[in-house]
């Protein structure tokens, strides 16, 4: 398995190269001009031209691409056109809120969705099953920002239990940190809970029809033992797959959630960079997201062997 993991990590290199080429080319041909944004609305065209030249934005595509790739190979993601800060520093400043949000959402979603799906399968066809599936449809259907506004209205403005917006670093205490993330995590987790609950229910239904479940019942194993020890373990592979795929959902959802709750994370950094055409930042963040996604998929592949010993690499 170790050799497999190494092979997969090495295989990410061509994937990242393709992503890099794609991202750079897409940004090159897309409209927009950071020099014009820097100069401001009242600047003259001559001012904009001078700034463009001073930033090196008037150089040919191949020269700029070659320089960028060479810097990445040396571990340098470049420098933001606007802030003059290294892109790696900007990512480091922003990664904590996004990581916190994603981890809490992930735990929240798995903690709620898996039991929901298991119970729905167990009580198939009853009002509990219909309620769970109804909740799942709602979770899929209501956009993150609507859930976000509703939560902020009820729990922050009306009840005054939680803050409306913002982020407190973990270094300033666990409760202030957690307090700021409860509403965003619930808002972001809705879709994720729905997705995992549905897949858990469907897989569990299939597993509960298997012979070994019948045998377990015949041997006198209790209901919770059957559900959580025998059935869920065997249903885990598709669930883990969906959890992994859902990381992409979380990354996309974090962009909206961070805007609604004013969380200074990577999602907002990406949106801001795109709006002002801060090319090095956009390229750096997309590369990072791609890398994370590839790694998560690798992790999921490795997890299969934990849940199903028959799988060997």
Binding site for other proteins (CB under 8 A): 31-33, 36-48, 50-51, 53-54, 80, 82-85, 90, 92-96, 99-100, 103, 107, 149, 152-153, 156-157, 160, 163-166, 169-172, 177, 229, 233, 259-262, 264, 268-269, 271-272, 275-277, 303, 306-307
CB of 266 to other proteins, least distance (A): 11
Q: Which of 243, 226, 213 is nearest to 303 (CA)?
A: 243
**Closer of 152 and 247 to other proteins (Cβ):** 152
Spatial distance between the Cα atoms of 258 and 238, rounded to a whole number of angstroms: 29
CB of 232 to other proteins, least distance (A): 10
CB of 17 to other proteins, least distance (A): 26
Three-state DSSP state, 146: helix
Spatial distance between the Cα atoms of 269 and 275, rounded to a whole number of angstroms: 10
**Chain position carrying tokens 């960079």:** 273
> Is residue 100 a contact partner of residue 181, using CB atoms and an 8 Å limit?
yes
**Closer of 44 and 209 to other proteins (Cβ):** 44
Angle between helices 266-276 and 279-307 (to 10 degrees): 150
**Closer of 69 and 165 to other proteins (Cβ):** 165
CB of 8 to other proteins, least distance (A): 18
CB of 139 to other proteins, least distance (A): 22
Three-state DSSP state, 49: helix
**Closer of 54 and 224 to other proteins (Cβ):** 54
Chain centre to alpha carbon of residue 271: 15
**Closer of 32 and 134 to other proteins (Cβ):** 32
In this structure, the number of other CB atoms found within 10 A of the CB of residue 12 comes to 17
């Amino acid at each position: 398995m170790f050799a497999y993991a190494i092979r997969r990590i090495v295989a990410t290199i061509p994937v990242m190269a393709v992503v890099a080429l794609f991202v750079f080319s897409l940004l090159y041909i897309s409209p927009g001009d950071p020099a014009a944004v820097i100069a401001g609305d009242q600047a003259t065209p001559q001012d904009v031209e001078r700034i463009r030249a001073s930033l090196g934005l008037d150089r040919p595509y191949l020269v700029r691409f070659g320089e960028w790739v060479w810097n990445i190979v040396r571990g340098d993601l470049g420098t933001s056109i606007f802030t003059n800060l290294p892109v790696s520093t900007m990512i480091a400043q922003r990664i904590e809120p996004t990581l916190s949000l994603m981890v809490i959402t992930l735990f929240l979603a798995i903690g709620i969705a898996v039991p929901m799906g298991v119970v729905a399968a167990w009580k198939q066809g009853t009002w509990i099953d219909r309620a769970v599936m109804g909740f799942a449809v709602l979770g899929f259907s209501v956009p993150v920002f609507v859930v976000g506004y509703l939560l902020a209205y009820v729990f922050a403005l009306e009840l005054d239990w939680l803050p409306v917006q913002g982020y407190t670093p973990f270094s300033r205490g666990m409760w202030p940190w957690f307090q700021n993330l409860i509403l965003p995590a619930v808002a972001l987790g809705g879709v994720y809970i729905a997705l995992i609950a549905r897949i858990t229910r469907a897989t569990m239904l299939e597993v509960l029809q298997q012979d070994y479940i019948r045998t377990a019942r015949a041997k006198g194993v209790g209901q919770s033992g059957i559900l959580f020890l025998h059935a869920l373990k065997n249903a885990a592979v598709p669930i883990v797959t969906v959890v992994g795929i859902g990381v992409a959902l979380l990354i996309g959802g974090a962009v909206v959630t961070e805007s609604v709750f004013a969380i200074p994370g990577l999602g907002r950094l990406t949106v801001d960079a795109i709006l002002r055409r801060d090319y090095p930042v956009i390229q750096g963040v997309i590369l990072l997201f791609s890398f994370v996604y590839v790694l998560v998929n690798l992790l999921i592949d490795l997890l299969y062997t934990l849940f199903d010993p028959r799988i060997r690499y």
